[in-house]
Structure 1
């Protein structure tokens, strides 16, 4: 499967490269400048299409060659590099170019001594009249024609008509006729500099935008390459990391690689007030640095080498000029990022396998790239609107299909940015998820129709290819697993337990999870990630999830009135996803710390490691609030008797004995009591029975001092030690901080692995 994913990604890259956006060579920019400036005075070569050059005319006809060569010689100061490229395009030698130019120049000196100047045609259609001035001496010879045309200029890169009268398009009444001049034009190049600067700026802006867009992709490619290299080294030489426990290594790990960005909070959200509306998650310090550099680079690349050109002939105002340049730049940068953000957001992302990053890490980067990309697109839309309004083109341009689709895409992007705030994801994740998919579809489709005519449509095809592949793989997983009848029940008042018969080929990954689709009318479009745990049975998957808002709450309401709070529901299973941490490969001592409903994945990884590594020191610490929380996990806890796992359970609110009736029908605990008939209804006796039934587990009433616990474990370790955790965000952040603070307590390597997935 990983090879197939890699092939699709490479296909997307090839698809982009197959029709790369047009880059403007030095000769392209020169020809665009010259033909536009020449078009101000007359038409010597007719246009062959948008942004194209009539090479046949400029290379082979006297009028075309004489006029354009004069521009190259006098307008561009006889630049040999430019002339060399021109002669290559015309399939002639430089000596032939100069001989032909000198010959035409000599003819001009004999037959004409005037610069071409502005002419007008009266509304009655009278003959063209020319105003001319005496020729002044200049470096190099030139050509002239007594034919002349409009001197007001044009934004086109080719010709203008002889009867147009102004840049705005307002002219005399009457019918205009296009006149092609058949003799070379002699033009005064004293006012040519603004044209050179303006066309150099506008055309080179496209080149720089492509370069900077490639630079942003290159930045992420570099980050991924480093991650892939580090992951491959760890997998091929797992014991190598044990040697990275010196002061320098620990210095980097303590201050850069492991800690939260600001003191402790990483899994916990940062609250900015206003009823949690602006709450957000901040990643680790290293991840934050990676994101900040990306944001800064994007900001710099959006503005570098963009400035106002004095007397710019292309735009009537400075706002129109700068607006257009910034719009082009931000639009191209935003286009480059779209395939990347789609790739990072997919569940079947082969980069997870290559880098060792989990889905939550890629989703975090996906969100930040998406935020930056949407902001680029919004700036693109605003600045183009400013430019078009300044030039009076806004109303007409907004009627065109590509602009309508661009508007659709931009609006969808804005709604995606707003609806993806943590506030909405936490309040109604399932609704957010469905809306997100619909908006993304219109965002991509609208983007394609907007970009196709501009030469950038293949970027959207690449995004579609990556997205479609992810969906096909997900549907394939579901199809081959089949629709199965699952036993779904409520355990301990706040937990859903799901038991699903599985096909023989399906392997439960230690520490992994699967997405469940419940085939009920109001739920089948939604899926929820459930962590599965290790069982003695090989014919079923056992998954757990805490009952929260959304789909788990709806299922709980459905089960509550049913006998035993249990029902059979047909489900679709997509998975497995995830993998165990590398602590088992790298460390001799492993401490698994779970909080509340974070136990299933931690337990699964813990038991899997115990089966494979008999000589390792493995400890399992589970922190729960109430005794009743044990009720839904007793079968798994009893299984620990068969392993070498040292288990400890902290009960932080032991005085709360509510909900213990769920233990009363557990035969394994009833048999442990010698005074069954007299104490069966006693809550405290039942707790005593629980402890006796799980005699291999140490029970401690109260809240653990995580910092002290970590310090003791590190000091006692006789080799590398790893801490693996999943649970409440506050507990996870506390453990991260404690591990980071105790890196130098032991001479052995100390590792931290977080299995908490903060997707919502």
Structure 2
């Protein structure tokens, strides 16, 4: 949102200045020409020429800065980003640098106004390159790439041990038998065998610990012509392990991890995950967190919708299903859309939170819903959560018998859009 507001403000600034500077009513006004010809109101044309030719290019570098801004904004449109990710990605990387250089020249004598932003940008890149569990993008880590079968790829990183204060805290927690990780952590992975520049964000299905590194699950892109698919990052990755169950050691640069801005799961009496496709990774990490913490009097429900049943035949999911058999209050359900139609999130919310089911003894809890997957699923889950929230609040206001097992509901939908 800040980026969009900046783009709009910068555009308004440029248009307003150009309208005033090119106003024909004052044509031939030497004083105006002297003051505004360079685009820097704080310095006259003569003063600019005395310093350097660069100080006379303020207007042109302003245009050179704002045009790439709008190229980036346009290529960020969800349809373009999803269907032409490489185009979107490289536009951001290349034009981002152009914007910083052009904006620095455009600022001219007011360059100091850019210093806070430039320092934050440099600090951000320093963290990306040198910080993080695996040492950032400056460090290579040997990882295992595996063709997990049924269209799935698995990337397993080794234990990401960093000898610093955070690592010591992790050791102390695990020695006390307490969970040392947070769920929903995502990393940016750069696989040098495919691209030295491009990286992709993946949520760890199994978070890292002292003895093991994070595990990532992904599927190659679909829905395009084979010629276009062959150029996709995920297809290039899949070509490294073409046979089911085959493995290969690859070099990975890992940036992160980063967390999400919602920790409602920590205080929820009932966690509900409704996910589709590769969205299972975030739900798996939540399930592992819940199994380790096992907060008292809490329940965990996980619904995974897949198109074909074969897509659910993956070790992380089958292990979780086996665990659910022997663990009270943990429920897993595979929804196969090709067999029973599209998933209806409101039905699963009603089933999980109905007081009549006896799952929660009193209506004093708080539910938290997590959803990740295709856009259509995210929209339907969000709509179902809004409907459930209204119904719960109405029942609460009426102060009568409620059919809900909770007093409130919150949710986090994993969208990349603003």
Task: Bin the TM-score by the shorter chain.
Answer: 0.7 to 0.9
Match of 1:391 among 6, 9, 27: 27
Contact 1:611 1:643 in 2 (8 A): no
Give the drift of 1:384.
4.5
The 5 A counterparts of 1:512-591 are 512-520=185-193, 522-534=194-206, 538-548=211-221, 550-560=232-242, 564-579=245-260, 581-591=262-272
**CA–CA distance in 2 between the matches of 1:529 and 1:459?**
32
**CA–CA distance in 1 between the matches of 2:21 and 2:82?**
36
**CA–CA distance in 1 between the matches of 2:25 and 2:233?**
48
Per-residue Cα deviation, 1:321-362 (whole angstroms, up to 9, x for no partner): xxxxxxxxxxxxxxxxxxxxxxxxxxxxxxxxxxxxxxxxxx
- SS, match of residue 131 in structure 2: helix
The 5 A counterparts of 1:730-741 are 730-741=376-387
Query: CA 1:389 to 1:530, structure 2 compared with 1: closer, same or farther past 3 Å?
Result: farther
Match of 1:602 among 283, 290, 311: 283
Per-residue Cα deviation, 1:482-530 (whole angstroms, up to 9, x for no partner): 312111123344332101102234775311111101012x512111011
Query: CA 1:625 to 1:412, structure 2 compared with 1: closer, same or farther past 3 Å?
Result: closer
Contact 1:405 1:447 in 2 (8 A): yes
Report the TM-score, using the length of structure 2 for normalisation: 0.73
Query: CA 1:419 to 1:374, structure 2 compared with 1: closer, same or farther past 3 Å?
Result: farther
Query: CA 1:418 to 1:384, structure 2 compared with 1: closer, same or farther past 3 Å?
Result: farther
Contact 1:583 1:590 in 2 (8 A): no
Query: CA 1:635 to 1:742, structure 2 compared with 1: closer, same or farther past 3 Å?
Result: closer
Give the drift of 1:641.
4.5
Match of 2:115 in 1: 461
**CA–CA distance in 2 between the matches of 1:616 and 1:498?**
31
Match of 2:347 among 679, 683, 708: 708
Query: CA 1:643 to 1:715, structure 2 compared with 1: closer, same or farther past 3 Å?
Result: closer
- SS, match of residue 525 in structure 1: coil
Unmatched runs of 5 consecutive residues or more in structure 2: 40-52, 168-179, 222-228, 397-405
**CA–CA distance in 1 between the matches of 2:244 and 2:301?**
38
Contact 2:159 2:208 in 1 (8 A): no
**CA–CA distance in 2 between the matches of 1:412 and 1:384?**
23
Give the drift of 1:433.
2.3
Pair 1:723-2:375 in alignment: no
Give the drift of 1:579.
4.4
Match of 1:617 in 2: 299
RMSD: 3.0
The 5 A counterparts of 1:256-655 are 365-380=1-16, 382-387=18-23, 390-392=26-28, 393=33, 397=38, 400-453=56-109, 456-477=110-131, 480=135, 482-505=139-162, 508-520=181-193, 522-534=194-206, 538-548=211-221, 550-560=232-242, 564-579=245-260, 581-612=262-293, 613-632=295-314, 633=316, 634-641=318-325, 643-644=327-328, 645-654=330-339
Look at both structures and tell me which one has the larger radius of gyration over its CA atoms. 1
Give the drift of 1:367.
4.1
Contact 2:185 2:204 in 1 (8 A): yes
**CA–CA distance in 2 between the matches of 1:447 and 1:389?**
30
**CA–CA distance in 1 between the matches of 2:130 and 2:146?**
28
Give the drift of 1:630.
1.7
Query: CA 1:415 to 1:652, structure 2 compared with 1: closer, same or farther past 3 Å?
Result: closer
Query: CA 1:442 to 1:470, structure 2 compared with 1: closer, same or farther past 3 Å?
Result: same
Report the TM-score, using the length of structure 1 for normalisation: 0.42
Give the drift of 1:653.
1.6
Match of 2:42 in 1: none
Query: CA 1:467 to 1:636, structure 2 compared with 1: closer, same or farther past 3 Å?
Result: same
Contact 2:279 2:372 in 1 (8 A): yes
Contact 1:583 1:724 in 2 (8 A): no
- SS, match of residue 97 in structure 2: helix
Give the drift of 1:625.
1.6
Contact 1:510 1:580 in 2 (8 A): no
- SS, match of residue 160 in structure 2: coil
Give the drift of 1:412.
2.8
Query: CA 1:390 to 1:412, structure 2 compared with 1: closer, same or farther past 3 Å?
Result: farther
Contact 2:369 2:411 in 1 (8 A): yes
Moved more, 388-397 or 610-619: 388-397
The 5 A counterparts of 1:232-247 are none
**CA–CA distance in 2 between the matches of 1:570 and 1:438?**
24
Aligned length: 346
Unmatched runs of 5 consecutive residues or more in structure 1: 1-364, 655-700
